[in-house]
Chain A
Amino acid sequence: MNSETLDTLDSYSKNKYKYGFVTEIANEKPNKGLNENIIKFISQKKNEPEWMLNWRLKAYSKWKQMKEPKWANLNFPEIDYQDIYYYSAPKGFEKKPKDLSEVDPKLIETYNKLGIPLEEQKVLAGVAVDVVFDSVSVATTYKGELEKLGIIFCSIGEAIQKHPELIKKYLGSVIPPGDHSFSALNSAVFTDGSFVYIPEGVKCPMELSTYFRINAENTGQFERTLIIADKGSYVSYLEGCTAPKRDDNQLHAANVELIALEDAEIKYSTVQNWYPGDEDGKGGIYNFVTKRGLCAGKNSKISWTQVETGSAITWKYPSCILKGDNSIGEFYSVAITNNYQQADTGTKMTHIGKNTKSKIISKGISLGKSQNTYRGEVSFLRKADKARNYTQCDSLLVGNKCGAHTVPYIDSKNNTAVIEHEASTSKINEDQLYYCRQRGLSHEEAVSLIVNGFCKQVLQELPMEFAVEAQKLVSISLEGSVG
């Protein structure tokens, strides 16, 4: 292991959760609780047209009749939806700043602590960042350059104002508000998120990226992201998450919808590192995310890559509906759980079109007293001729108090489709450990190296910007629980 990695490990071991700080900015928020007035308040604050408000209210009335899905292998106390703030925007951001000098310096400082100074990113990484601080999108960079290509990259609130025809057509088309209770909740109260539209034939020249960040105490984050890739286009989207250290559980129920039309390709990468709670399982984020992509056109492709290391509870199943003939769905995942974390994550591949292909690579690592579940469904419908799926899910257990579970659902209704599934569970190979230790690595370094190797298949799918961060995250997540 090189000295750089060791340094990082060192620095992380000193301050336990690097991103556990709170920026003191006066928050403007309505009362706690969820009712029609709050939804009207949100809609009014965001200056939304009436059809949007009606859409939200309709979702709310659906939510009222629904119960949380209970099938996941998770244990958590009942969520009190009336004890949550549904809107919080930093004051003074009602009107958007045109550039960084107009942004509150304290906010900029927060991003600096996170290691993503906007100025630097503008110059160095070539990434256009649409930052969500609590609920209002703060600054958008590189917009001009994207505009030249006709790419729309803005907050969803702005898109509702400026591109109502696209929103009306696509919002809720992949995840209907009534799909389950979390999607209904999100549809009713979503405040911000990103909107991306890539016009026909355009290959987006840079990785689009959003940094989500939860700041105000007791504020649930309900982002809504919608990405549309028109015919023959390509886009790679990065999403990264960190959250300040808090003791109260925070609810996070985002919805992400992807739509790929004919010959289009969307690559969606996530590094999720919300606050997981302390060593005794106190605090931490509840992360109930619905992510779904629709390969609507022929030859389209959607690829999900995720590195999940944070959150007290992760409930997340990025899925692909392979509707167009010859479309491709991919899912690469690393989920690491430590202490009392619980993760129930996986994917759903629904093959509808002919010659559709999907690939699932999932790596789960359980440490401490955590529970890590892979739950995936692959289904071939009647008309999915010659469809193909390959699934591999491996689990690694470190310590004897944690659990690793695999729950795949495999359903084939077509006799030309081929499905292959394999899974294994084991502990870290003693021989490999011995080999590494013999060459002078400490036990912890050796474990970290082996685990990184175990995840490599997934990590290499990440774009460069994320790959380095993700590798460090993997090492940090193992810290203190091995040996």
Chain B
Amino acid sequence: MNIQDNYLKNKKNIFFSENKDIQTHREKLIKIFENDGFDKKNNESLKNINLKNFIDFKYRYLISEETSVINNNQENNYSIVSVNGQCSSFKDDKIEITKIIDEDYNDFSKNETIENNDHFVNLNSLFLNSGFKIVIKKNNNISIKISNIITDDDLTIFQKNNYICEEGSSLNLIEEYENKNNSTSNILNVIKLEKNSQLNHFLIQDNSPYHNLIITSHSSCKKDSTYTQKVYNFSEGYVRNFHYSELIEANSEADLQGIFFLKDNNLSNNKTFVKHLAEDCKSNQVYKGILNDSSKATYFSNTHVDQVAQKTEGYQLSKGILLSDNASYFSKPELKIYADDVKCSHGSTIGPIDENAIFYLRSRGMSKIAATKILISSFINEELSSIDNEQMSEIIQKKLVRYLSKVK
């Protein structure tokens, strides 16, 4: 079934299909699909993907009987269980959680460059069927942990979440994606950081081989705000991590990090895009990947420095280790710079584990496997040791041990 028929058939289950403006926009998106038709050749972000699963899919969505749970067990600590992308409303003096409304649709989804280049965001806009909005109120410092649960097989979740950190607030956000059923989640997070606010965003992804996770986020930072994102991908299924960040006012900062651990036939597509639109901003993009068996990964990073964004510091780093003959890694670290007083750099390396280092460890009595494991751990140690949340650190260590146990 093509996308248009699919949409028309399921229209009544899709959010905001009554809204005229949104309807017009969706018609436009359908046109883009028809004209471009997921042209793999001219859209490198579609590299290696088996598109059939995403174009010709069976739309199915359930509002689960299980309701989401919001707990405020400790002061300033909230835990949320979101079920099939839905979350019930909640309000206290620190945060407010509501369903997304028509107006939220416009954020990021209506963006010309994205419309033409990122078809998965378009799919999300077209079939939107869930999502929530969280507002962190002024000058509060809180932590939220969100567990994303999907209740049934063969569900297609198209979810859009909006996060707003009001002035002076600080949020520690941990998102867990651990699903064992074979569903597809297409999630779009739109994050707004007001003046002097902070968001530390952790994403832990550990899905079963048949679960597809497409996660896109967009953050915009106002004056003196900082957005930090750390993605840990242990999934055995397909994962797409695309993250866009805009530094729209002076002295803001974006730090996007990611580590992916791949094995078997797994594929992971990654992209980070930082747009410097004001002066004195900093950005950092670091992605590291370990690829075993026949796994494949792509990483696109892009730093765009606008003409007015003087005194910019923008750094990119991409590193990949190939553990097997059949693994492949494609990386494209791109710089686009229109201002002259900037410090920007990128580095990219792909290779096997250093043989000399293996030799060193083996000559001290270690087996080859043990040496390899130690060197893999040290490859990502810098990122892991920078996690200042003990609970998080423990979870990730455990998953790392599990991954390493499969390395031969």
- Nearest 4 CB-CB pairings of A with B: A415-B322, A418-B351, A397-B340, A421-B348
Q: Judge whether A415 and B307 touch: CB under 8 Å.
A: no
Q: Which of A403, A405, A422 contacts B345 (CB 8 A)?
A: A422
Q: Judge whether A426 and B335 touch: CB under 8 Å.
A: no
Render B320-357 as a binary contact track against A, CB cut-off 8 A, 1 for contact: 10111101111111111111111111111111100000
Q: Judge whether B322 and A414 touch: CB under 8 Å.
A: yes
- The answer to the question of B252 belonging to the interface, with a C-beta cut-off of 8 Å to chain A, is no
Q: Judge whether A417 and B351 touch: CB under 8 Å.
A: yes
Report Cα–Cα, A41/B347, bound state, in Å. 52
- Chain A residues near B339 (CB-CB < 8 A): 397, 400
Q: Which of A382, A400, A412 contacts B350 (CB 8 A)?
A: A412
Give the size range of B's interface with the partner: 20 to 34
- Chain A residues near B342 (CB-CB < 8 A): 397, 425-427
- Chain B residues near A419 (CB-CB < 8 A): 348-351
- The answer to the question of B310 belonging to the interface, with a C-beta cut-off of 8 Å to chain A, is yes
Residue of A whose beta carbon sits closest to that of B322: A415
Number of A-B contacts (CB under 8 A): 112
- The answer to the question of A409 belonging to the interface, with a C-beta cut-off of 8 Å to chain B, is yes
Q: Beyond the given A419-B351, A423-B345, please list 18 additional residue pairs across the A-B interface where CB-CB is below 8 A.
A: A395-B335, A400-B307, A400-B340, A401-B307, A404-B335, A406-B333, A406-B334, A406-B346, A407-B334, A408-B348, A412-B320, A421-B348, A422-B348, A423-B335, A423-B346, A424-B345, A425-B337, A427-B341
Give the size range of A's interface with the partner: 20 to 34
Q: A397-B337, A404-B335, A407-B332 are contacts. A425–B325 as well, Cβ < 8 Å? A: no
Q: A382-B325, A407-B332, A409-B330 are contacts. A425–B344 as well, Cβ < 8 Å? A: yes
Q: Judge whether A415 and B340 touch: CB under 8 Å.
A: no
Residue of A whose beta carbon sits closest to that of B317: A422
- The answer to the question of A285 belonging to the interface, with a C-beta cut-off of 8 Å to chain B, is no
Q: Judge whether A405 and B340 touch: CB under 8 Å.
A: no
- The answer to the question of A420 belonging to the interface, with a C-beta cut-off of 8 Å to chain B, is yes
Q: A406-B346, A408-B332, A423-B345 are contacts. A399–B337 as well, Cβ < 8 Å? A: no
Q: Judge whether B332 and A415 touch: CB under 8 Å.
A: no
A-B contact pairs, 16 of them (CB 8 A): A382-B325, A397-B340, A399-B340, A400-B340, A402-B338, A402-B340, A407-B335, A411-B331, A417-B351, A419-B350, A420-B351, A421-B333, A423-B347, A425-B345, A426-B343, A427-B342
- Chain B residues near A422 (CB-CB < 8 A): 345-348
- The answer to the question of A410 belonging to the interface, with a C-beta cut-off of 8 Å to chain B, is yes
Report Cα–Cα, A425/B328, bound state, in Å. 29
A366-401 with Cβ < 8 A to chain B: 382, 395, 397-401
Render B296-333 as a binary contact track against A, CB cut-off 8 A, 1 for contact: 00000000000100100000000010111101111111
Report Cα–Cα, A400/B340, bound state, in Å. 5
Report Cα–Cα, A405/B334, bound state, in Å. 7
- The answer to the question of A413 belonging to the interface, with a C-beta cut-off of 8 Å to chain B, is yes
- Chain A residues near B329 (CB-CB < 8 A): 410-412
- The answer to the question of A110 belonging to the interface, with a C-beta cut-off of 8 Å to chain B, is no
B75-115 with Cβ < 8 A to chain A: none
Report Cα–Cα, A410/B340, bound state, in Å. 26
Q: Judge whether B335 and A406 touch: CB under 8 Å.
A: yes
Q: Judge whether B336 and A403 touch: CB under 8 Å.
A: yes
Residue of B whose beta carbon sits closest to that of A420: B349
Residue of B whose beta carbon sits closest to that of A398: B340
- The answer to the question of A457 belonging to the interface, with a C-beta cut-off of 8 Å to chain B, is no
- Chain B residues near A401 (CB-CB < 8 A): 307
Report Cα–Cα, A408/B300, bound state, in Å. 10
- The answer to the question of A27 belonging to the interface, with a C-beta cut-off of 8 Å to chain B, is no
Residue of A whose beta carbon sits closest to that of B307: A400
- Chain B residues near A427 (CB-CB < 8 A): 340-342
Smallest distance from the beta carbon of B122 to chain A beta carbons, Å?
Answer: 22
Q: Which of A382, A403, A409, A415 contacts B352 (CB 8 A)?
A: A415
- Chain B residues near A382 (CB-CB < 8 A): 325
Report Cα–Cα, A411/B296, bound state, in Å. 11
A445-469 with Cβ < 8 A to chain B: none
Report Cα–Cα, A117/B307, bound state, in Å. 46
Q: Which of B334, B347, B352 contacts A418 (CB 8 A)?
A: B352
Q: Which of A399, A409, A421 contacts B349 (CB 8 A)?
A: A421
- The answer to the question of A416 belonging to the interface, with a C-beta cut-off of 8 Å to chain B, is yes
Smallest distance from the beta carbon of B292 to chain A beta carbons, Å?
Answer: 10
Residue of B whose beta carbon sits closest to that of A385: B325
Report Cα–Cα, A427/B341, bound state, in Å. 6
- Chain A residues near B346 (CB-CB < 8 A): 406, 421-423
Residue of B whose beta carbon sits closest to that of A418: B351
- Chain B residues near A406 (CB-CB < 8 A): 333-335, 346
Report Cα–Cα, A348/B344, bound state, in Å. 23
- Chain A residues near B337 (CB-CB < 8 A): 395, 397, 403-405, 425
Report Cα–Cα, A427/B338, bound state, in Å. 11
Smallest distance from the beta carbon of B358 to chain A beta carbons, Å?
Answer: 13
Report Cα–Cα, A406/B347, bound state, in Å. 12
Residue of B whose beta carbon sits closest to that of A422: B347
Q: Which of B307, B325, B333, B348 contacts A414 (CB 8 A)?
A: B325
- Chain A residues near B333 (CB-CB < 8 A): 406, 408, 410, 421, 423
Report Cα–Cα, A402/B337, bound state, in Å. 8
Smallest distance from the beta carbon of B1 to chain A beta carbons, Å?
Answer: 32
Q: Which of A400, A404, A409 contacts B332 (CB 8 A)?
A: A409
Residue of B whose beta carbon sits closest to that of A375: B334
Q: A404-B335, A415-B323 are contacts. A410–B341 as well, Cβ < 8 Å? A: no
Smallest distance from the beta carbon of A331 to chain B beta carbons, Å?
Answer: 17
Q: Judge whether B345 and A411 touch: CB under 8 Å.
A: no
Residue of B whose beta carbon sits closest to that of A406: B335
Report Cα–Cα, A63/B307, bound state, in Å. 39
Q: Judge whether A424 and B334 touch: CB under 8 Å.
A: no
- Chain B residues near A400 (CB-CB < 8 A): 307, 310, 338-341
Q: A408-B348, A412-B350 are contacts. A403–B343 as well, Cβ < 8 Å? A: no
Residue of A whose beta carbon sits closest to that of B324: A415
Report Cα–Cα, A414/B324, bound state, in Å. 8
Residue of B whose beta carbon sits closest to that of A71: B42
Q: Judge whether B322 and A412 touch: CB under 8 Å.
A: yes
- Chain B residues near A425 (CB-CB < 8 A): 335, 337, 342-345
- Chain B residues near A421 (CB-CB < 8 A): 333, 346-349
Smallest distance from the beta carbon of A180 to chain B beta carbons, Å?
Answer: 14
Q: Which of A395, A403, A404, A411 contacts B330 (CB 8 A)?
A: A411
Report Cα–Cα, A380/B342, bound state, in Å. 32
